[in-house]
Amino acid sequence: MMAFFRLLARNRLALAGLVVIGIVVVLALITPLLPLADPDVTDTPNRFQPMFSAGALLGTDHLGRDLLSRLMWGTRLSLAMGFAAAVIAAVLGSAIGIIAGFYGGRTDNVIMRGVDMLMAFPYILLALAIVAALGPGLMNALIAVAAVNVPFFARNIRGITVGIAHKEFVDAARLAGMRNREIILAEVLPNVLPVIVIAMSTTVGWMILETAGLSFLGLGSQPPQADLGSMLGEARSALITNPHTSIVPGAMILVIVMGINLLGDGVRDALDPRLKSGALSRPMPATTVDRDGPAPAARTDSLLDIADLRTEFRVRNRVYKAVGGVDLHVEKGECLGIIGESGSGKSVTALSVMGLVASPPGVITGGAVHFDGQDLVGARYEVLRSLRGRRVAYIFQDPQATLHPLYKAGDQLIEAIRTHEDVSREAAHRRAISLLKSVRIPNAESRMESYPYEMSGGMRQRVGIAMALANDPDVIIADEPTTALDVTVQAQILSVLSDLRRERGLAIIFITHDFGVVGQLCDRVAVMYAGRIVEEGPTAAVLRSPQHPYTSRLIDCVPTLGGGQRRLAAIPGLPPVVDRLPHGCAFADRCDKAQAECRAGSIALAPTEPARKVRCLFPEVAKERSA
């Protein structure tokens, strides 16, 4: 609760809204106590007094009534109407929505058909029909506005409830012996409540406008009582001669509704958990670069050389050092594996190469990425763009999400070709078909016309690979390309990749958490832990005799097929969170060989054997392992 108010207070506009609404509400509450003229006493000789006249600060209306007094009483009435309508609509609508969403099936179907019928009316028609039947009047207008808004709440809350009713914790509650009614009240409602509050706070303003609107038409509050809408309605005939009688109530409505809307947006933002993590930001075309110090020179003359790369995520006042100084290089035609657990920085390293780390919150803060001799960190966007897909291409993890859902597979391939090459559509079409054939997609011609949703996961990933190959790149960066796939499909995809690599002399950076895959595919492997490389070397050597304790223990705790039923050698503890990295070795807390000096200061990635490096003061003694 406190956190909620802190978040709300941080949003200056919301705070302004809160202040405005606070003042208006307080004034409305104390109106009966203020020394105001009676709002309903007519004084025709003194009609249409201008503003700031004696005895009437805001002047008088067409019947000589004091405008200030009428404004205060009208505000009171309008606020009460708006809030009442919002509460009634929210309670009824949410109840209907929760019941429909939770029970589903026929209950849901029948209720939602009814709601759809109500929503098939332009809302005012329904309100007008209700008022026509019940007769003009304040209460009837209130009923009409509330009734018209019930379907909006019902539909909104139903959607949220459906999502929650399918969460596993609801199943768990059932298994723990809870009944449906208890589940609705104790499990579902607390999760729906913030959404109800958001929906209410963003619609109160709207409700005030609607009730004012009905009064404006003469269908709401009846003379002599007036809310802001009917004041405006009565003033309309004197609009041109005495505009101030219109402007006063109109401006008040504007101020109230604007204040409520500002506050409502603030409430929404404060309650939306995604906003706290900065996840509602839109990623920029290229990752922001904020490099302090000069760019390091390339350490090798390899095709791709990453030197001391640092990438951070800046979320509010926290800094997550996802990549904390990575050196890597890939030769022409070589396959480099990067292995690590989630959060180790392996994907961020890969995405940093072409500036594809989502930014905000990602920032590249140091290092260089030399491709073909040119530093890409901080390169102009146009330089990056022309290299993306043409010389360095990516394959991503989840083929369901990485292809555009609304374009045909063929069109996406053709786009990839024509982005970098000025060829006719027909030529591109032909090439796309041959690309699909090269990744062994059966019936390539007809697959060109398929949408991603019509294909299986394996087929989609083949399309993803074909797209990466479209411009004959030099390097392919594959970010866990088989993790989302079933093992038999994974085997198919790996064999496609392996063949393509040999045929085309591709360099591949293959990111995975699976030693088996690395062992089968990669020439060299780099092991990452907490944003740094802890060990690097030829795959066979690293897997046979790992030198870093982390590598060694990680290999031990992953079961391999053929080992039979057994107890696994678990690593105690958890990987460190990268916004609070310890001094020295990040693995020290989980390592049974850790000494005081391991925690003293940073440890270098030092060569041990030809082509092997390890970041450890006490590397494992070479022991032959049974591979």
Partner 1 sequence: MTGYILKRLVSAIPVLLGISVIVFLIMAMIPGDPATAILGSYATPENVEKLNRDLGLDQGLVARYFIWLGNMLQGDFGRSFALNRPVLDEVLDRFGATLILAGTSFVLCSLLGIAAGVISAARQYGVADKAITFVVLLGISIPSFFLGMMMILVFAVQLRWFPVSGMWPIYGDRNLGVLLEHLAMPAFALSVVATGVIARLARSAMLEVLRQDFIRTARAKGVRERQVIWRHALRAAMVSIIPILGIQAGFVLSGAVYIEMVFQWPGVGRMLVDAILKRDILLVQGGVVFIAACYVIFNIMVDVAQALLDPRIKT
Partner 2 sequence: MSEALRLTGLSKSFPVGKRLFGPPRAMVHAVHPLDLDVRTGETLGIVGESGCGKSTLAKMLVGLLPPSTGQIEIEGETLDNADPAIFGKRIQYVFQDPNSSLNPRKTIRQIMEVPLRKLHGLDRAARAARIQEIFAAVNLREEFLDRYPHEFSGGQAQRIGIARALAAQARILILDEPVSALDVSVQAQVLNLLADLKTEFGLTYLFISHDLAVVEAVSDRIAVLYFGSIVEVGSAREIFANPRHPYTALLAQSAPEVGRPIAAPENAETELPDPLSPPVGCAFHERCAFATDRCRAEKPVLTADGADRALACFNPLPGPVSR
In the bound state with partner 1, the residue whose beta carbon lies nearer, of 178 and 383, is 383
CB of 238 to partner 1, least distance (A): 11
- Burial profile 72-96: b = 16 or more Cβ within 10 angstroms, e = fewer: bbbbbbbbbbbbbbbebbbebbbeb
Is there a contact between 279 and 352 (Cβ–Cβ < 8 Å)?
A: no
In the bound state with partner 1, the residue whose beta carbon lies nearer, of 13 and 427, is 13
| CA–CA separation, 301 and 562 (whole Å) | 42
CB atoms under 10 Å from CB of 152, counted, come to 20
Mapped onto helix, strand or coil, the DSSP state of residue 587 is: coil
In the bound state with partner 1, the residue whose beta carbon lies nearer, of 246 and 545, is 246
Q: Is 60 in the site for partner 2 (CB under 8 A)?
A: no
| CA–CA separation, 422 and 551 (whole Å) | 47
Give me the 409-448 binding string for partner 2, x by CB under 8 A, dash otherwise: -------------------------------xxx------
From the list 342, 374, 386, 602, which residue makes contact with partner 2 (rule: CB under 8 A)?
Answer: 342
Q: Is 181 in the site for partner 2 (CB under 8 A)?
A: no
> Choosing among partner 2, partner 1, none, which partner's interface includes residue 416 (Cβ < 5 to 8 Å by kind)?
partner 1
Q: Is 561 in the site for partner 2 (CB under 8 A)?
A: yes
> Choosing among partner 1, partner 2, none, which partner's interface includes residue 561 (Cβ < 5 to 8 Å by kind)?
partner 2
> Choosing among partner 2, partner 1, none, which partner's interface includes residue 243 (Cβ < 5 to 8 Å by kind)?
partner 1
> Choosing among partner 1, partner 2, none, which partner's interface includes residue 575 (Cβ < 5 to 8 Å by kind)?
partner 2
In the bound state with partner 1, the residue whose beta carbon lies nearer, of 190 and 243, is 243
CB atoms under 10 Å from CB of 293, counted, come to 9
Q: Is 180 in the site for partner 2 (CB under 8 A)?
A: no
By DSSP bridging, strand 362-371 and strand 374-375 are antiparallel
Q: Give residues 94-133 in contact with partner 2 (rule: CB under 8 A).
A: 106, 109, 113
> Choosing among partner 1, partner 2, none, which partner's interface includes residue 124 (Cβ < 5 to 8 Å by kind)?
partner 1
> Choosing among partner 2, partner 1, none, which partner's interface includes residue 57 (Cβ < 5 to 8 Å by kind)?
none
In the bound state with partner 1, the residue whose beta carbon lies nearer, of 138 and 356, is 356
* Count of CA atoms in the C-beta half-sphere (13 A) of 376: 27
| CA–CA separation, 66 and 64 (whole Å) | 7
Q: Residue count at the site for partner 2 (CB under 8 A)?
A: 70
From the list 33, 133, 175, 596, which residue makes contact with partner 2 (rule: CB under 8 A)?
Answer: 175
Distances in Å between the alpha carbon of 499 and those of 15, 166, 439?
61, 42, 9
CB atoms under 10 Å from CB of 379, counted, come to 18
Mapped onto helix, strand or coil, the DSSP state of residue 523 is: coil
Q: Is 171 in the site for partner 2 (CB under 8 A)?
A: yes
Distances in Å between the alpha carbon of 2 and those of 192, 315, 511?
20, 20, 42
| CA–CA separation, 584 and 564 (whole Å) | 38
Q: Is 278 in the site for partner 2 (CB under 8 A)?
A: no
Which residues, other chains included, contact 6 with Cβ-Cβ below 8 Å and sequence gap of 6+? none
> Choosing among partner 1, partner 2, none, which partner's interface includes residue 168 (Cβ < 5 to 8 Å by kind)?
partner 2
In the bound state with partner 1, the residue whose beta carbon lies nearer, of 414 and 588, is 414
From the list 7, 88, 515, 537, which residue makes contact with partner 2 (rule: CB under 8 A)?
Answer: 515
Residue 557: exposure state from Cβ atoms within 10 A (0-12, 13-18, ≥19): exposed
CB atoms under 10 Å from CB of 545, counted, come to 20
**CA nearest neighbour of 159 among 120, 195, 183:** 195
In the bound state with partner 1, the residue whose beta carbon lies nearer, of 30 and 280, is 280
Distances in Å between the alpha carbon of 527 and those of 171, 331, 555?
39, 18, 11
Q: Give residues 457-476 in contact with partner 2 (rule: CB under 8 A).
A: 457-459
In the bound state with partner 2, the residue whose beta carbon lies nearer, of 168 and 292, is 168
Is there a contact between 477 and 392 (Cβ–Cβ < 8 Å)?
A: yes
**CA nearest neighbour of 350 among 303, 395, 390:** 395
Q: Is 541 in the site for partner 2 (CB under 8 A)?
A: no
Q: Is 187 in the site for partner 2 (CB under 8 A)?
A: yes
Q: Is 178 in the site for partner 2 (CB under 8 A)?
A: yes
Q: Is 185 in the site for partner 2 (CB under 8 A)?
A: no
> Choosing among partner 2, partner 1, none, which partner's interface includes residue 277 (Cβ < 5 to 8 Å by kind)?
none
Tokens 């866990």 belong to residue: 480
> Choosing among partner 1, partner 2, none, which partner's interface includes residue 419 (Cβ < 5 to 8 Å by kind)?
partner 1
Q: Is 514 in the site for partner 2 (CB under 8 A)?
A: yes
> Choosing among partner 2, partner 1, none, which partner's interface includes residue 153 (Cβ < 5 to 8 Å by kind)?
none
188: which DSSP letter?
A: I
Q: Hey, which residues does 312 pair with through a beta bridge?
A: 363
**CA nearest neighbour of 475 among 372, 381, 385, 380:** 372
In the bound state with partner 2, the residue whose beta carbon lies nearer, of 147 and 616, is 616
| CA–CA separation, 558 and 256 (whole Å) | 62
185: which DSSP letter?
A: I
Q: Is 527 in the site for partner 2 (CB under 8 A)?
A: no
In the bound state with partner 2, the residue whose beta carbon lies nearer, of 19 and 172, is 172
| CA–CA separation, 121 and 125 (whole Å) | 6
Q: Is 341 in the site for partner 2 (CB under 8 A)?
A: yes
Is there a contact between 16 and 262 (Cβ–Cβ < 8 Å)?
A: yes
> Choosing among partner 2, partner 1, none, which partner's interface includes residue 191 (Cβ < 5 to 8 Å by kind)?
partner 2
In the bound state with partner 2, the residue whose beta carbon lies nearer, of 173 and 603, is 173
Q: Is 168 in the site for partner 2 (CB under 8 A)?
A: yes
Q: Is 66 in the site for partner 2 (CB under 8 A)?
A: no
In the bound state with partner 2, the residue whose beta carbon lies nearer, of 406 and 570, is 570
DSSP codes of every residue in 209-239: HHHHHHHHTTSSS-TTS--HHHHHHHHGGGT
In the bound state with partner 2, the residue whose beta carbon lies nearer, of 471 and 492, is 492
From the list 2, 45, 179, 406, which residue makes contact with partner 2 (rule: CB under 8 A)?
Answer: 179
